[in-house]
Amino acid sequence: MAAHRCCFPVWLFILCSFSLFIIAGSQETTVAPEQHASVLDNPQTAAETAEQTAGESGGVEERRWEGTEVRDAAAQKQAEPAVLQPTPQPKDDFQEELVVRPLHSGDIYASFQFRTLWETDFMRGNKVSHYRLFPKSLGQVISKFSVRELHISFTQGYWRTMQWGQPYLPSPPGAELWVWFQDSVTDVDATWKELTNVLSGIFCASLNFIDSTNTVQPSASFKPLGIGNVTDHRFLRYATLPREIVCTENLTPWKKLLPCGSKAGLAVLLKSEKLFHSSFHSQAVHIRPVCQDWQCKTTSWELRQTLNVVFDLHNSGQGKREWSLFKMFSRTLTEACPLASSSKIYIDITDNPEGEQFELSPATSLLSQAMVLGDRRTFSVYDLTQQDTFGSVRSLNLLIRWKSTEGDMLRPLLHAERYVAGYGLQTGEIHTLMYNHHPYRSFPVLLLDSVPWYLRLYIHTLTVTSKGKDNKPSYIHYQPSKDRVRPHLLEMLVQLPPNSVTEVTVQFERALLKWTEYTPDPNHGFYVGSSVISSLVPSTVAMDTNSTRERPLFSSFFPCKEESSYFVRVYTEPLLVNLPTPDFSMPYNVICLTCTVVAVGYGSLYNLLTRSFQIEEPSPGLAKRIANVIRKMRGVPPL
Amino acid sequence: MKTHVLFNLFATFLLADGLNIEVSVFDFSLQLQISHRFVFLILNFTRNVAPLLINTQLFTRFLSRISQDSAGQFFSSGHTNNWAVLVCTSRFWFNYRHVANTLSVYRSVKRLGIPDSHIVLMLADDMACNHRNPKPATVFSHKNMELNVYGDDVEVDYRGYEVTVENFLRVLTGRLPPSTPRSKRLLSDDRSNILIYLTGHGGNGFLKFQDSEEISNVELADAFEQMWQKRRYNELLFIIDTCQGASMYERFYSPNLMALASSQVGEDSLSHQPDLAIGVHLMDRYTFYLLEFLEDIHPASKANMNDLFKVCPKSQCVSTPGHRTDLFLRDPGSVLITDFFGSVRKVEITTEAIDLTDPIKEVEERYMHSYVDQLPVSEIIHQKPKQKDWHPPDGFILGLWTLILLVFFQTYGVKHLRHIF
């Protein structure tokens, strides 16, 4: 007993010290990703940076940090009560932002984001008639069609995840539209049809080709990105047009939605001749309700216009690893949009802490960190609202000059591809490959496939294999197609094992179309839209779950619920499938017609001459025959 | 006498001699609660309302115009708005020149003042962002990439597969589905001057659309007649640049139509301006010289239709351009080019004061909002399967039951029923 008593405190002590050790260790691991940031020539702690932004310590240091991202949670909590005070806030607010990410291939990725926030209520029948920054055309669309959320994107080119990493905003080639309607809408399909027609007028696009044959209602994908509790997928519509071309006529109306148009601010860079001379071009409009303050008691409408472009090194860079704003956009910047409350340029310098990869001029002392796509990135910031950003020449022309061609990009953890296998024009097989590059973590992905009706999926041939073994999906939602009415919809929740390739295959048969259903150029083939892969990918750093905190626009699009993982959406390539196509040429048709005439005329005459005709005994009906069999067994005379 | 007057004055600015702007009032509308007769209206109007406004210069001018009854002289052509329907019907890269044709006319009418909202532009293929185009987002009309007719703010209303005979005829006749947006409609009225420009591959009496269907000259003439009966135009100028183009206007029979074509029946229209960098011909001859002619036109120029008929003589065009004016009521020499290629501008003056203070009321919401989980794994897995709806038995089941009953009665007859019940 005494031994026990004496042992207990010892054990307690050992236990305590051990747990302390563990806590210390865990702290070390969480700090670790920040280490590359501290390599910077003036390392500073988080507390210091918070202090600096709070009280503008002036340009004593060589490099200043933008405080908002690195401010720790305690500082944030202290700041929150200040929001509660009734401060006269502007009703609407406009921000613009350009992020430039130099890619290791020598290409360059530029992402524009323009955000208009408006504290108003389009719903409940109150008429909003006075518009300031928010475009009236879209405001009317929201109130007329009772739209809760609207996401539309036009993309030319395919985003190469393995070369370029994840984009800030993913989008599939062609046009994509998904809309959540208010639950007050009674006839969702009719509203959807009208909405697509109206949007086709606004954006000069062929969105009126969206009809029931390419619209689906995903049951688990495409949850609302804005606030709201209703997730009944009856109010969701999703459609893609993979063939949609994107050109100046789509950019023009898009630019007209901006408060400053293309007259001032970052939008002056949007010259179509340069933007479309690129490897990848994507423009999008996202409308959703967001929280107004940290309590989230009031909502405001957010209009986010984004434009992503990747300039090719050999095409537009003339093979020289050197980029400048002028070279990319054939313009330099002279001012911010006067209506914007913030106007900033971010250059991703995470891989370039000491300037060994590339050189950036003019140099800026302002740095910022942001958690984006599961990683902590460092950015050089140029604030266009400050006059000294433009220097003595009154114009800003950022120059990025590469020094070395080495260096490796962090491989994206999730990536997918898709292709059609098989030969001939009767059957085929769709293969979808999903790669998990994480060395030891598995994570769930939700695959959405919308296949047009003229590819008849043999769903019994659906297989999901990873590492040579059958990988049973934990959720499958399949809606079969109806000819000329609706497409196939296949949704699967699959767990991707660590460091593996998961292959989804399904066979299909190609249907014969009616001859009026062929496009004017049927030999080009028919497009099948991209598969959509939504996933929760484990992140290397703790993600920021506070949705109302002030963050750069590019890192605040997808709301984040938990710290350990981040949401990402990946699109595969669209498929181009050949269907059995008749020869529409004139000689062929003439031959067909003549042969038909000959066959009908000559054949019927031949029949008449060679056949003999006999009268056939009428056979009793089916019911009578079965009854006779039973009567025979009973021994009763047949009918 | 208590009158409520809602007042709309439409004034039109006509540019005369480049600088002098003359204002004239051609139309006014009064809505009075009590009186109905127009003459009475004018009397009431001058007695009660006019003194209030008499000091405005515009109004005095308006009254003088009324008294002199000379407002009409500014509208000798009789139109109050301009519209343009510009169509390229050819698909595929080697038909680059047809897109360039259409865009050059688009550029001209836009430069002369027709806004994008009054232009219905139909392009059957995307040349500007075609993968074969060495300079994306451009369409050139002249050699050595001299003139980019695509511009930086083009708005294409119908494109790609949307350019069909059906859509074209629906736009002309206005028989579009109700949800069609305004930009895809020809919202003209009986005071509209409409320019219709078509280009593509054609033959004697037809024009091909997208290489898969065609419109005949009879269909086109009927469509114009329908437009006339529906009072959809005041005057209509039809220009077509295609092989045997004159055959397309042969069958027209509606009034106030003027038609031009690039070639006579039996002639081919030829292309112009081959470009080695782009690899195709950039324009057709007729439209090339038409563009050159239009580039010299400015909103105040006095050039008339007779000048337009002289565009591209046979020495330049190789084909013989044709025109038809017998359906047109006015003398072509008195019709300005800007009557069709330019635009009258409409100014609306209102006497009501508009309250610009913010009418938005605060709506207090007291419930918490929250964001939705983007990939709620457990929720997805534990979704309840949807309850199967009851549906009436289909043909097979009904047929089976009929067969069973038939067999039963054939076998046992009706009298055996009492054994069962």
**How far is the C-alpha of A48 from the C-alpha of A54, rounded, in Å?**
10
- What is the band of A218 on the pLDDT scale with cuts at 50, 70, 90? very high
Neighbours of A437 (CB within 10 A): 17
pTM: 0.76
pLDDT more than 70, % of chain B: 74
Pick from A82-91, B113-122, B332-341: least confident: A82-91
A447, A484: one domain: yes
How many angstroms away from the CA of B96 is the closest CA of chain A?
A: 16
A594, A518: one domain: no
- Pairing state between β A366-372 and A375-383: antiparallel
Average pLDDT value for residue range B62-71: 45
- What is the band of B33 on the pLDDT scale with cuts at 50, 70, 90? very low
Q: Inter-chain contact A535–B375, Cβ cutoff 8 Å?
A: yes
- Nearest chain B Cα to A494, which residue? B377
Q: Inter-chain contact B162–A206, Cβ cutoff 8 Å?
A: yes
Give the pLDDT confidence score for residue A549 in this predicted structure: 65
Residue A85 has pLDDT above 50, yes or no: no
- A223 alpha-carbon distance from chain centroid: 12
Three-state helix/strand/coil letters over A122-177:
CCCCCCCCCCCCCCHHHHHHHHHHCEEEEEEEEEECCCCHHHHCCCCCCCCCEEEE
How many angstroms away from the CA of B254 is the closest CA of chain A?
A: 31
Measured in degrees and rounded to the nearest 5, phi and psi for residue A468 equal 80, 0
Range of the domain at A596: 585-609
Q: What is the pLDDT of residues A404-463, one digit of tens each?
A: 776 677 788 999 999 999 998 999 999 999 999 999 999 999 999 999 999 999 999 999
- The reply to whether A546 falls in a domain is yes
- The reply to whether A131 falls in a domain is no
A571, A595: one domain: no
Chosen from B158, B375, B379, B384 to mutate, greatest number of chain A CBs within 10 A: B375
Give the pLDDT confidence score for residue B358 in this predicted structure: 58
In whole numbers, what is the pLDDT of chain B averaged over residues? 78
**How far is the C-alpha of A172 from the C-alpha of A572, rounded, in Å?**
8
Q: Which of residues 187-246 of B touch A (CB under 8 A)?
A: 210-212
Q: Inter-chain contact B152–A248, Cβ cutoff 8 Å?
A: yes
- H-helix or E-strand spanning residue B303: none
State which of A205-219, B59-73, B404-418 shows the largest mean pLDDT: A205-219
Structure tokens at B405: 């009953």
Q: Which of A554, A577, A600 delimits the end of a domain?
A: A577
Domain with residue A505: its CATH number is 2.60.40.740
Structure tokens at B65: 């115009």
Give the pLDDT confidence score for residue B419 in this predicted structure: 63
List the Cα angle B48/B53/B55 in 5-degree steps: 130
- The reply to whether A60 falls in a domain is no
- What is the band of B229 on the pLDDT scale with cuts at 50, 70, 90? very high
Q: Inter-chain contact B407–A627, Cβ cutoff 8 Å?
A: yes
- The reply to whether A421 falls in a domain is yes
**Contacts of residue A513, Cβ cutoff 8 Å, sequence gap at least 6:** A454, A579
Q: What is the pLDDT of residues A258-307, one digit of tens each?
A: 999 888 889 999 988 889 989 999 999 999 988 877 777 778 889 999 99
Give the pLDDT confidence score for residue A121 in this predicted structure: 74
Give the pLDDT confidence score for residue B384 in this predicted structure: 67
A602, A562: one domain: no
**How far is the C-alpha of A453 from the C-alpha of A277, rounded, in Å?**
35
Residue A62 has pLDDT above 70, yes or no: no
Residue B40 has pLDDT above 50, yes or no: no
- What are the strands of the beta sheet with A299-311, ordered from one edge? A64-65, A366-372, A375-383, A342-348, A92-102, A108-118, A299-311, A280-291, A147-156, A174-181, A236-241, A215-216
Average pLDDT value for residue range A513-539: 90
Average pLDDT value for residue range A467-480: 92
Q: Interhelix angle for B217-229 vs B165-173, to 10°? A: 20
- H-helix or E-strand spanning residue B215: strand B213-216
Higher pLDDT, B52 or A411: A411
List the Cα angle A310/A314/A317 in 5-degree steps: 70
- The reply to whether A296 falls in a domain is no
Q: Inter-chain contact B375–A245, Cβ cutoff 8 Å?
A: no
Residues of B in contact with A567 (CB under 8 A): 374-375
Average pLDDT value for residue range B180-198: 92
Higher pLDDT, A410 or A12: A410
Q: Inter-chain contact A273–B356, Cβ cutoff 8 Å?
A: no
Structure tokens at B208: 């091909």
Strands (E) located in B98-137 = 119-123
Residue A65 has pLDDT above 80, yes or no: no
Residue A101 has pLDDT above 80, yes or no: yes
- Pairing state between β A92-102 and A342-348: parallel
Give the pLDDT confidence score for residue A124 in this predicted structure: 59
Pick from A135-139, A544-548, B88-92, B357-361: least confident: B357-361
Q: For this structure, is B317 an active site residue?
A: no
Q: What is the pLDDT of residues B379-399, one digit of tens each?
A: 888 876 666 777 777 888 899
Give the pLDDT confidence score for residue A22 in this predicted structure: 45
Pick from A86-100, A413-427, A460-474, A575-589: least confident: A86-100
Structure tokens at A117: 């926030």
Q: Inter-chain contact A253–B155, Cβ cutoff 8 Å?
A: yes
Chosen from B91, B176, B371 to mutate, greatest number of chain A CBs within 10 A: B371
Q: Inter-chain contact B407–A626, Cβ cutoff 8 Å?
A: yes
- B18 in contact with chain A, both atoms CB, cutoff 8 A: no
A503, A595: one domain: no
- Nearest chain B Cα to A192, which residue? B179
How many angstroms away from the CA of A536 is the closest CA of chain B?
A: 7
Sign of the torsion formed by the C-alpha atoms of A448, A454, A455 and A459: positive
Residue in B91, B150, B373 closest to A521 by CB: B91
**How far is the C-alpha of A483 from the C-alpha of A207, rounded, in Å?**
21
Average pLDDT value for residue range B92-120: 92
A424, A483: one domain: yes
**Contacts of residue A60, Cβ cutoff 8 Å, sequence gap at least 6:** none
Average pLDDT value for residue range B230-259: 93
Q: For this structure, is B243 an active site residue?
A: yes
Catalytic entry in B243, B272, B281, B317 = B243
Average pLDDT value for residue range B341-359: 72
- Nearest chain B Cα to A316, which residue? B135
Residues of A in contact with B374 (CB under 8 A): 223, 225, 534, 536, 558-559, 561, 567
Chosen from A140, A192, A195, A200 to mutate, greatest number of chain B CBs within 10 A: A200
Strands (E) located in A389-499 = 399-402, 414-421, 427-436, 443-451, 455-466, 469-470, 475-479, 488-496
Average pLDDT value for residue range B286-306: 90
A598, A558: one domain: no
How many angstroms away from the CA of A7 is the closest CA of chain B?
A: 45
- The reply to whether A429 falls in a domain is yes
A435, A572: one domain: yes
A521, A589: one domain: no
A-B Cβ pairs (cutoff 8 Å, strict): 180
- What is the band of B359 on the pLDDT scale with cuts at 50, 70, 90? low
**How far is the C-alpha of B263 from the C-alpha of B246, rounded, in Å?**
6
Q: Inter-chain contact B358–A91, Cβ cutoff 8 Å?
A: yes
Q: Which of A559, A577, A595 delimits the end of a domain?
A: A577
- What is the band of B317 on the pLDDT scale with cuts at 50, 70, 90? confident
C-alpha closest to that of A330 among A276, A281, A284: A276
Give the pLDDT confidence score for residue A571 in this predicted structure: 94
Residues of A in contact with B134 (CB under 8 A): none
- Nearest chain A Cα to B124, which residue? A520
**How far is the C-alpha of A337 from the C-alpha of B129, rounded, in Å?**
29
Structure tokens at A411: 């491989």
Q: Inter-chain contact B137–A197, Cβ cutoff 8 Å?
A: no
Give the pLDDT confidence score for residue A360 in this predicted structure: 85
**Contacts of residue A211, Cβ cutoff 8 Å, sequence gap at least 6:** A193
- The reply to whether A510 falls in a domain is yes
- B29 in contact with chain A, both atoms CB, cutoff 8 A: no
**How far is the C-alpha of A352 from the C-alpha of A363, rounded, in Å?**
13
Q: How many domains, in total, are found in chain A?
A: 2
Q: What is the pLDDT of residues A309-368, one digit of tens each?
A: 999 877 766 767 788 888 889 889 988 899 999 999 999 888 777 777 788 888 887 888
Residue A180 has pLDDT above 80, yes or no: yes
A573, A589: one domain: no
Q: Which of A577, A601, A622 delimits the end of a domain?
A: A577
- The reply to whether A592 falls in a domain is yes
Residue A371 has pLDDT above 90, yes or no: no
Q: Inter-chain contact B137–A249, Cβ cutoff 8 Å?
A: no
- What is the band of B421 on the pLDDT scale with cuts at 50, 70, 90? low
Neighbours of B386 (CB within 10 A): 7
Pick from A330-344, A598-612, B55-69: least confident: B55-69
**Is the complex ipTM more than 0.85?**
no
How many angstroms away from the CA of B99 is the closest CA of chain A?
A: 14
Contact criterion met (CB below 8 Å) for A219 and A532: no
Give the pLDDT confidence score for residue A73 in this predicted structure: 38
Q: Inter-chain contact A130–B358, Cβ cutoff 8 Å?
A: yes
A418, A562: one domain: yes
DSSP notation for A234-263: GGEEEEEETT----HHHHHHHHHTSTTTTT
pLDDT more than 70, % of chain A: 82
Residues of B in contact with A558 (CB under 8 A): 374
**How far is the C-alpha of A431 from the C-alpha of A504, rounded, in Å?**
6
- Nearest chain B Cα to A491, which residue? B380
Give the pLDDT confidence score for residue B252 in this predicted structure: 94
A467, A592: one domain: no
